[in-house]
Amino acid sequence: MTDTAQPLDMDSEGLRSRAVMALTNARRRTELLTSCVEDGELTAQHSPLMSPLVWDLAHIGNQEEQWLLRTVGGREALRPEIDSVYDAFEHPRATRPTLPLLAPAEARAYAAEVRGRALDVLEGSPLRGAPLVDAGFAFGMIAQHEQQHDETMLITHQLRRGPAALTAPPPPAPETARRLPDEVLVPGGPFTMGTSVEPWALDNERPAHATFVPSFFLDTTPVTCGAYLEFMADGGYADARWWASEGWATVREHGLEAPLFWRQEGGQWLRRHFGVVEPVPLEEPVLHVSWYEADAYARWAGRRLPTEAEWEKAARHDPATGRSLRYPWGDADPTPERANLGQRHLRPAPAGAYAAGESPLGIRQLIGDVWEWTSSDFLPYPGFAAFPYREYSEVFFGPGHKVLRGGSFAVDEVACRGTFRNWDLPVRRQIFAGFRTARDAGEGEL
């Protein structure tokens, strides 16, 4: 039962190339998300839940300046006067349009200048030694930060009204016509959760620690829109029995009757998806549901949401060797055949796709497609230490936030792995979140 190291037996040049690629991929995506609409769309606030796109763009540059130029490179600040404007903790999203934001052209120029200087810092860094630079951690952290904001900007694109600004080919259909089992038994026992060796893992993923998980059954695929419609048709949104008290209060207060972006028209359920209205795709994993909705569905189905430890064991544990893998399929990096990541497609793949990404137990789509709600609160692991700053994880710990796992089609591989932890408020629905359900294993089923 061991933690698996990332295959990064590289010299400094190999590490440097890896960091350049991660930063370049992130910037390419940022430019796509901010160049596909007019400047007026960049400065508008499309929802009080989200920042104007131009705020995200300059914030990306400002974080890169603070960490890579000033902290790692020891260089003089370029724009210290804007640090406060782009401090995510100082200004809530709803108020950011009132700030003296950089205009789109100025924000682009600033981010580009920072990037050029950051690459100079990277070129001169040994990428060994102090924790912040060892194996290029700070550069990987900034690449992950940019990709996380790219996902945030993609959410803003989904919230904005008007014609589609983004296009992408559809994801692949399942490769086989054979019917997958509805659920898979995950045998009980200890496994190594978290990591102490993944070089770019963030503080909340650390350290690796032994965790015991009793046997349980887990859905083979995420819950589909078709299955969720059965819950709706059975009066799921009108029956308090299935809802946590806070969730039921939210349903009543806002008149919820379906996932976000769904509406009924002429007896048919439709959804708005990146500017296109389409029939709800029955075979796709359900999307844009809150933790309360996921929990209510699971109760209605006579099941429950998996704990975070259960989810990670299903995604990483190899029962044949006892090892904890980097991904469900093994230690190799994600590929287009294994997982739906990186905005390659603008939607989840149908349930049962990506056979090449299957876990040793036969569970599919644990990485990519949709973030999966778990039943667990976002809490630190035993031995947790904040690094390199408290505001990344520590200030969010507690019962107010629920853990999501696995990533979505909107997540880049640099910010998604078997140990990666996401978290959000249980009421959130604009995020690209779905779920799968679990149940305890009875003695006769082991």
Q: How many CB atoms lie within 10 A of CB 133?
A: 19
Q: Is 349 labelled as part of a ligand binding site?
A: no
Q: Is 96 labelled as part of a ligand binding site?
A: yes
Q: Is 149 labelled as part of a ligand binding site?
A: yes
3-state secondary structure the chain: CCECCCCCCCCHHHHHHHHHHHHHHHHHHHHHHHHCCCHHHHHCCCCCCCCCHHHHHHHHHHHHHHHHHHHHCCCCCCCHHHCCCCCCCCCCHHHHHHCCCCCHHHHHHHHHHHHHHHHHHHHHCCCCCCCCCHHHHHHHHHHHHHHHHHHHHHHHHHHCCCCCCCCCCCCCCCCCCCCCCCEEEECCEEEEECCCCCCCCCHHHCCCEEEEECCEEEECCCCEHHHHHHHHHCCHHHCHHHCCHHHHHHHHHHCCCCCCCEEEECCEEEEEECCEEEECCCCCECCCCCHHHHHHHHHHCCCECCCHHHHHHHHHECCCCCCECCECCECCCCCCCCCECCCCCCCCCCCCCCHHHCCCCCCCCCCECCEEEEEEEECCCCCCCCCCCHHHCHHHCEEEEEEEECCCCCCCHHHCCCCCCEEECCCCCCCCEECCCEEECCHHHC
Distance of CA 225 to the CA centre of its chain: 20
Q: Is 345 labelled as part of a ligand binding site?
A: no
Q: Is 417 labelled as part of a ligand binding site?
A: no
Q: Is 93 labelled as part of a ligand binding site?
A: yes
Q: Is 145 labelled as part of a ligand binding site?
A: yes
Q: Is 254 labelled as part of a ligand binding site?
A: no
Alpha-carbon torsion, ordered 381, 386, 392, 393, to 10 deg: 20
Using CA atoms, how far residue 52 sits from 108, 164, 340, 342, in Å, is 14, 18, 27, 22
Distance of alpha carbon 58 from alpha carbon 53, whole angstroms: 9
Contact 185, 439 (CB under 8 A): no
Q: Is 94 labelled as part of a ligand binding site?
A: yes
Cis peptide before 207 (omega within 30 of 0): yes
Q: Which residues contact 111 (CB under 8 A, 6 or more apart)?
A: 27, 30, 57, 58, 60, 61, 64
Residues comprising the binding site? 59, 93-96, 145, 149, 424, 428
Annotation: binding site for gamma-L-glutamyl-L-cysteine? 93-96, 424, 428
Show binding-site residues for Fe cation.
59, 145, 149
